[in-house]
Amino acid sequence: MTRTTRRWLRVAIAAGGLVVVGFVAQRWLTHVAYAKSVEALANFCGPQSKVTLGAMEVQVLAGDVRWTNVRVEQPADSLFAVDDERAFHIAGTIDTVAVEGLSLLSLLFRGSIVARDLRIERPDLHVILRNDTLAAAATASTERRYTALRLMSVGVERGAVHVSRVGHAVPVLIVQQFDLHAAGAVADFEEGTAPMLMFGTITGELSDVVASLSPLYDLHVACAALTRGGAQLRITDAALRPLVGPENYGKLVPFETDLISMHADTLLASGLDINGSIAQRGLKTTKILMAGMRGEIHRDKTLPDAPYTKKRLPMAGLRNLPFTVDVDNVRLVRWRLHYHERGENGPEYGEVLFSDISAVITGLHTTDTLGGNDVHLVARAKAYDQALITVDAHTSVSAPNERFTLSATIGAMPIAVFNRMTTDLVAIRATAGRINNVNYHITGDDDHATGRVDVSYQDLALSALKRDRSGEENRFKTSVLNLVVRSKNLRSNDGFHHGDFSFDREQDRAVFKYVWAGLREGMLAAMLPGALDDLRKGKKPDARSKR
């Protein structure tokens, strides 16, 4: 055998050895990757998860890994394991998970997941929430297995999510389909801190979303689309739907509360800062538009009072949200609200209709609680489709004791508005008259409010009602009442009467009732000067109180 032949033979043997080593290494890496994949999925989905992979392909040199027919199952007893403190478990299927350009060196030696592309196709996931209040903290403190994540692109196609709670038949959330595409996904995992995933750009869409808001409501959203690289979020056809009607909701909530039905054509957030929102764990955007909102609100005041719970004023409520709010401008257009209330003096629901509602709110920044930034509301609406209402209000996120000021003007309106304000309070009803206009100013805080109502009206006649909810007239009280009522109050006449008021806030009532109470107090003070206290107590008013 010549020297050249021996040299080529050695080369051939070495090459063959390398092929064998490469083949063995490929099989070994595939086996290790398979085992690690199953372990990682089980750790993420739940420690007793049963994970199966239909097939797995690994291209070592290219750094490509592909899993198909992934299935995760949760044994029934795993959801009640006393030694498992996780906040949730996950079950479901995924058609395909494909990673391209995975850096094995970064993964093995730095604990970093670095890849060119991640694609997930048809994930159908079932997230099962546990009721353990310690579970969330336990899950957050799970040991970090990786130090960083770097993905040039991410895609999720035709996914679905079903969220439920252990022991509850009604799902918490259902998303029939979602898609997501992102570029430049980056996260750092540091011990003791929650990881934050940031994006260069991100777009996505959720379709046919249903959320259960037990016990009264379901929330439906036809579509939520994140576009323009993550700078715009558009939600269309969103509806809050009660599960029962106004005649029956007292069977589900056996005390006085509002039953609300709402539908919005479009909710649009523009100038959205996704990374800023993630970093602040809140909402950070330039503008929000809420268009085409139609609402029906029913309140049955014949139901028992709810257990006392203090209702926060708007800025206190905003500060106490579980997330931050950083919004420059909120605009409402084409809103319509129909309020129905059944009181103690009649079996039917009374109504107030607000239409053509538009508003602009600026300065909603809970991240600036020390700056005292001005929160400003300017709004217009029509009452009963005819009386023009304008509102101008000021407060701040950090206002001392939630102090606010509000000024409003109201145009000509039917005298029925007076009935809405007085029937439950003093059991009287207007039978004739006309309200020409109203100017209203209130300064209030968390404890007390003062202000003035200037109401111009004429030809007012009142009827006193029996206090048996029959709605029938008490003729004797009616005759006395019309002796004390001011039948007119015109700005052009001498003796125009101002309705000054001062009252303590009922802190278990929301801000709308607070502002409404000031308007009611001022109008009654202007129309029934000196007789209001007697009427509240059900006593015959003193005719000498008229002035």
Q: Which two tokens stand for residue 303?
A: 């139901």
What is the chain's alpha carbon radius of gyration, rounded to the nearest angstrom?
Answer: 33
CA dist 457 and 493 (Å) reads 12
pLDDT over 70 percentage in the chain: 80
- Other CB atoms within a 10 A radius of the CB of residue 254 amount to 11
Residue 115 is which amino acid? A
Asked which of 190, 214, 238 is the last residue of a domain, the reply is 214
Whether 503 maps to a domain, the answer reads yes
Query: 100 near 62, Cβ under 8 Å?
Result: yes
Q: Note the pLDDT tens digit of each residue in 102-161.
A: 887 777 777 788 899 999 999 999 998 876 544 444 444 445 567 888 999 999 999 999
Q: What is the pLDDT of residue 133?
A: 47
pLDDT digits (tens, 9 = 90+) for 39-82: 777 777 877 888 888 888 888 778 888 989 999 998 877 666 65
b vs e for 296-322, b when ≥16 Cβ sit within 10 Å of the residue's Cβ? bbbbbeeeeeeeeeeebbbbbebeeee
pTM of the model: 0.83
Confidence band of 501 (pLDDT split at 50, 70, 90): very high
Helix (H, G, I), strand (E, B) or coil at 513: helix
Q: Is residue 290 part of a domain?
A: no
- Peptide linkage before 541 cis (omega within 30 of 0): no
Q: How many domains does the chain have?
A: 2
Q: What is the pLDDT of residue 141?
A: 43
The pLDDT of residue 538 is: 53
Phi, psi of 215 (to 5 degrees): -100, 0
Which one of 163, 183, 214 terminates a domain? 214
Task: Judge whether 186 lies within some domain.
Answer: yes
pLDDT of residue 437: 93
Burial class (CB in 10 A: 0-12, 13-18, 19+), 261: middle
Residue 23 lies in a domain: yes
168 is a domain residue: yes
Residue 268 located in a structural domain: no
Residue 371: C-alpha distances to residues 365, 374, 451, 459 (Å): 10, 9, 27, 51
CA 526 and chain centroid, separation: 40
Task: Tell me the sheet residues that pair with 259.
Answer: 298
The answer to whether 486 touches 461, Cβ cutoff 8 Å, is no
Contact 58, 65 (CB under 8 A): yes
Instruction: Write out pLDDT tens, residues 160-204.
Output: 999 998 877 778 999 999 999 999 999 887 766 667 889 999 999
Q: How crowded is residue 2: how many other Cβ atoms within 10 Å of its Cβ?
A: 7
Residue 124, in any domain of the structure? yes
Domain membership of residue 370 (yes or no) is: no
Q: Looking at the predicted structure, is the pLDDT value of residue 546 above 60?
A: no
Could you report the per-residue pLDDT of 275-334, keeping only the tens digit for each? Answer: 999 988 899 999 999 999 999 998 887 788 888 889 999 999 998 999 999 999 999 999
| Residues spanned by the domain of 45 | 1-214
Instruction: Report pLDDT for 293.
Output: 96
Provide the pLDDT for residue 11: 58
Query: Mean pLDDT lowest for which of 41-50, 202-211, 455-464, 536-545?
Result: 536-545
Higher pLDDT, 370 or 352: 352
Residue at which a domain ends, from 214, 233, 260: 214
